[in-house]
Amino acid sequence: MSALLTLEPLTREAFAPYGDVIEVSGEPDKLINQGMCGRFHDLAKLDFGSGQAGISLFDAQARHFPYTLDMMERHPEGSQAFIPLSGVPMIISVAKDNSGKPGLPRAFLSKPHQSINIHRNTWHGVLAPVERAGQYIVIDRIGDTPNLEEYYFQDSYIVNV
């Protein structure tokens, strides 16, 4: 039997326990380039453990509704940011830890130009572009030691609009 997850809009406040939402909000922290550019400064809590920051590119196939969440993963050694290059929204599933496995997940739907940064060691679903394939720049930890833990649910969750 599958439990249903209600999709929530992605806001900084709602997502705060799991990570950062990176978007234009309010006035810039600083005007640069002779006033031609606003800088919104240092919007994500990055942490790469014993490794270092790297920039990679994910080219991901489309996911569709109803979406089945049957697995979550976490990265004990680092945060992971996703930046949409093609304006394709993401289904973002996250959960707090419950004795070494994911607690009840929450599912968020991003807007086209919202980027996210998932905090180190936070349970999350895989990259899930909505209805279209999408390319995403990923900022995560580059290192030689293991950095992936997976948990498969006995009963999967269904995410629907």
**Contacts of range 98-102, beta carbons closer than 8 Å, 24 or more positions apart:** 101/151, 102/72, 102/151, 102/153
Q: Which is nearer to a second copy, 98 or 141 (CB)?
A: 141
Element (H, E) at 13: helix 12-15
Distance CA 80, CA 53 (A): 10
- For the CB of residue 86, give the shortest distance to a second copy in the complex, in Å: 7
Distance CA 82, CA 53 (A): 13
* Residue 138, both tokens: 């990923």
- For the CB of residue 45, give the shortest distance to a second copy in the complex, in Å: 9
- For the CB of residue 64, give the shortest distance to a second copy in the complex, in Å: 12
* Residue 96, both tokens: 């707090």
Distance CA 140, CA 19 (A): 13
Q: Which is nearer to a second copy, 57 or 98 (CB)?
A: 57
Q: Which is nearer to a second copy, 4 or 85 (CB)?
A: 85
- For the CB of residue 44, give the shortest distance to a second copy in the complex, in Å: 4
Using CB under 8 A, list all residues that contact a second copy: 22-24, 28, 32-33, 36-44, 46, 48, 52-61, 63, 81, 83-87, 113, 115, 117, 126-127, 135, 137-139, 142
Q: Which is nearer to a second copy, 56 or 98 (CB)?
A: 56
